[in-house]
Each structure stands twice: as structure tokens, then as C-alpha cells.
Amino acid sequence: MTEKIQAIVIKSTDRKEKDKNILLFSIEKGKCWATLKGVKGSGAKMKIAQNPFCFGEFLLENGKFGQIVTSFSSIETFHELSEDVEKYFEATSLLEIVNVVEFSSMPEQKAVFVLLLQALKTLCFKKVSQNYVLNKFLLELFKIYGFPIEYEKCSCCNARAIERIFFDYRNGELVCVNCKNFHSEELSKITFSALKILSDCTFDKLSTVRLAEGSELGLLRVLVRNFEARFEKNLKLIGVLS
Ligand SMILES: [Zn+2]
């Protein structure tokens, strides 16, 4: 049986002397492994399909040891992401997050796919400050999985216009000083401001945003910790938070 899917390459690993295994992410199948045969040779036709970020149309066939890519045509390679070290680490972090999450439904799978594509396009083709896309990606991911971060009021007592804001890692929500607990951490003014600005901003408008210096890293630490608490998984974001 031959199957045609539009997928993004999440990662690749060596297999035998000349083959590569690639982890593909598509709307139809979620994440699945497939083998690229003989792609390590210099003139290999599908060589490009082993590169992370690569987005294209893959024809898959069932082989003896799993699925084999029999044909590939590129839609967008995002190769510019590999040429800029800062963008590369940020884009690799997006793929690592997708690598870690699981899907419980088709709408969830589709929403994450659309989000990843949007984030990669913004990172690749727009002039956006470092780590803004990664922060925005995490904020949107939390919404897809049903735990959006509401910043208008204390999630516990509903108080508005609160002076000191705390992030409660037990449930991924914001609380006031009266409702804070052992599992909450105070957010600095600039971190909270970055959270509000990026929550309200679309990917299209990210290039017009300027956050207070350093606040994007402060926010990223909070969002990554929240991710690990919500998904019960560790994240290794190489070159970004290390
Ligand atoms: Zn409260």
C-alpha cells in the first residue's frame, strides 16, 4: 500500500551504512518513522529529505522492517534555519517539543502541526528577536492542550489588577500574593509584561514586538518549567536554556 502525506522532518538517525531513519510529523498520521534508502551517497536523490525542518510530500510504502520513503518532493526546506546558529537552536527546540508531546485526538494533532509550521515560517522568514517565537509557540501549545495561561486575574480568588503575580506550577495558572503556595514562583514585572504582550500578539506581528531586555529568557524558563509540569516530561533545549 502506498500512502501520500505532507510532513515535516522532526529528526533523523543513522540506519545501516547508507540509510537514514526519519521521524515525520503530519496531520494525517501524527508522528511516524520511515526509512530513506541509500541517502548517504553524494548524488542521492532524496538526500534533502533527511534534514530536520524539511517540509514536503512523502510517498510511503510498507517494507519488511517498517515504512520506506519511495518518493519525496520538497515544499519548503527551511534551510536558512541551519545557516543562522541562533535561529537553528530555537528551531531545533520547536522540533524537540513536538518530539516530546503526544496526541490524543486528530484536532490536537492538526492544531500542533499548523502551529509548528507557522512558528518555523516566522522564525525562518521574519525578523523576530531571539526566543520570541519559542515563547509564543509554548503559549499557543498550552492553549491547544487545554491549559491556557489567563493573565487578567488571579485564577484562585479572581482578584483583578494584582500587584504581585505568582506562577502556580501545580496547575499552570497565575495567582495573587494571598493565593500563592509552595509551588508558586513570583514573576518579575518584565516577565509578566512579556507574557501579556506575547499572549496577545499574533505570529504575524511578532516582528514588531520589543520586550524588555532579558525578559524573554525569564519567561522561557517559566514556560519550560510549566511544560515539564503539565506534560510530565523533561525538555532538553540545547543552546537555548543552558
Ligand atoms: Zn488570589
Q: Where are the domains of the chain?
A: 2-77, 107-231
Ligand 1 centroid – CA 142 distance (Å): 22
Ligand 1 centroid – CA 174 distance (Å): 9
What are the residues whose beta carbon lies below 5 Å from ligand 1 (ion)? 154, 156-157, 159, 176, 179
Those residues whose C-beta lies under 8 Å from the C-beta of residue 70, and which sit 6 or more positions away, are 2, 59, 60, 61
Ligand 1 centroid – CA 160 distance (Å): 9
Q: What is the dihedral of CA 231, 237, 240, 241, to 10 degrees?
A: 70
Strand order in the sheet with 165-168: 173-175, 165-168, 184-187
Q: Tell me: pLDDT of 176 over 80.
A: yes
pTM greater than the 0.75 cutoff: yes
113-154 confidence digits (pLDDT tens): 999 999 999 999 999 999 999 999 999 999 999 999 999 999
Q: How far apart are CA 32 and CA 87, in angstroms?
A: 25
Ligand 1 centroid – CA 197 distance (Å): 22
Mean pLDDT on 55-65:
93
Q: What's the pLDDT at 148?
A: 96
Ligand 1 centroid – CA 115 distance (Å): 32
Mean pLDDT on 175-198:
96
Polymer length of the chain:
242
76-120 confidence digits (pLDDT tens): 999 999 999 999 999 999 999 999 999 999 999 999 999 999 999
Ligand 1 centroid – CA 154 distance (Å): 5
Residue 45 pLDDT class (50, 70, 90 cuts): confident
Q: How far apart are CA 162 and CA 23, in angstroms?
A: 45
Cell of 20: 537514514
Q: What is the mean pLDDT of the chain?
A: 94
Ligand 1 centroid – CA 150 distance (Å): 13
Q: What's the pLDDT at 242?
A: 67
Which range (38-42, 50-54, 171-175) has the least confidence?
38-42
Do the domains 107-231 and 2-77 match in fold? no
Q: Tell me: pLDDT of 166 over 80.
A: yes
End-to-end CA distance of the chain: 45
Q: What's the pLDDT at 241?
A: 82
C-alpha triplet 230, 236, 238: angle, nearest 5°: 140
Ligand 1 centroid – CA 136 distance (Å): 26
Mean pLDDT on 195-213:
96
DSSP string, 5-74: EEEEEEEEEEETTTEEEEEEEETTTEEEEEEETTTTSTT-TTGGGGSTT-EEEEEEEEETTEEEEEEEEE
Ligand 1 centroid – CA 144 distance (Å): 25
Q: Tell me: pLDDT of 10 over 70.
A: yes
Q: Assign domain 2-77 to a CATH class.
A: mainly beta
Ligand 1 centroid – CA 151 distance (Å): 12
Taking alpha carbons only, the member of 19, 27, 11, 9 closest to residue 63 is 19
Q: How far apart are CA 167 and CA 180, in angstroms?
A: 8
Ligand 1 centroid – CA 145 distance (Å): 24
CATH number of 107-231: 1.20.1440
Mean pLDDT on 199-224:
96
Ligand 1 centroid – CA 27 distance (Å): 40
Q: What whole-number percentage of the chain has pLDDT above 70? A: 99
Residue 64 pLDDT class (50, 70, 90 cuts): confident
